[in-house]
Amino acid sequence: MPNAKQNTKGWEGSFVENMLSVLIPAHNEEKEINRTIRDLTKTLEREKIKHELLVVNDNSTDRTKEILNNLSSQIATVRYVDNAPPNGYGQAVKAGLTAFRGECVAIVMADGSDDPEDLVKFYRKWSEGYDCVFGNRFSNQSKVIDYPWPKLCLNRLGNHFIGLLFSIDYKDTTNAFKLYGRNVIASLTPLQSSGFNLTVE
């Protein structure tokens, strides 16, 4: 059953009610970040979802920051922050979690591997009163494209082990594509992991 949303206006300052923050860690993503941002913007505007796209520039050494400067000047809902060294996925996510302004936040990959249409579904489900919404890349309804089979085997074994260890039935714990209510983030901090293992934490 959905849980009632808690009042979290005292956590990390004020927030915008019902706004979706899309947190995008980006390290050397000059080839993909423009398309990812524009695809997300197009979909969220079409669905009339109040949102911000918050990109965390994770110490990029290519043109990522230059592209983000251009995007943030062209699209009002786009902004970015710089992650202080050392870089790392977990570090970048934690930096974004201290800066997002929405009532909920979704973590989305900068390479465009997460479908904006699924993000809309996540937000709609959260709007029903759920605290978190998680995807599953390996359900019967999912379609996995260009996923190397050695990595796939390790992924499935790792998720199976995590499920046994913690007695949970969720089949894709290592998937970063998740949406959290602000109240959940407030209850989880401080987070410890600095790498991709943050997705499990």
Q: pLDDT by residue for the chain (201 residues), tens digit each?
A: 343 343 344 445 589 999 999 999 999 999 999 999 999 999 999 999 999 999 999 999 999 999 999 999 999 999 999 999 988 888 899 899 999 999 999 999 999 989 999 999 999 999 999 998 987 755 555 565 565 656 544 544 554 444 445 455 655 555 778 999 999 888 776 555 444 444 544
Determine contact, residues 105/21, Cβ cutoff 8 Å: yes
The reported pLDDT for the residue numbered 155 is: 44
Q: What is the pTM of this model?
A: 0.77
The reported pLDDT for the residue numbered 160 is: 46
The reported pLDDT for the residue numbered 197 is: 43
Q: Which residue carries 């997300």 as its tokens?
A: 40
Q: Find, among 8, 19, 12, 7, the residue nearest to 94 by Cα.
A: 12
Residues written for the chain = 201
The reported pLDDT for the residue numbered 1 is: 33
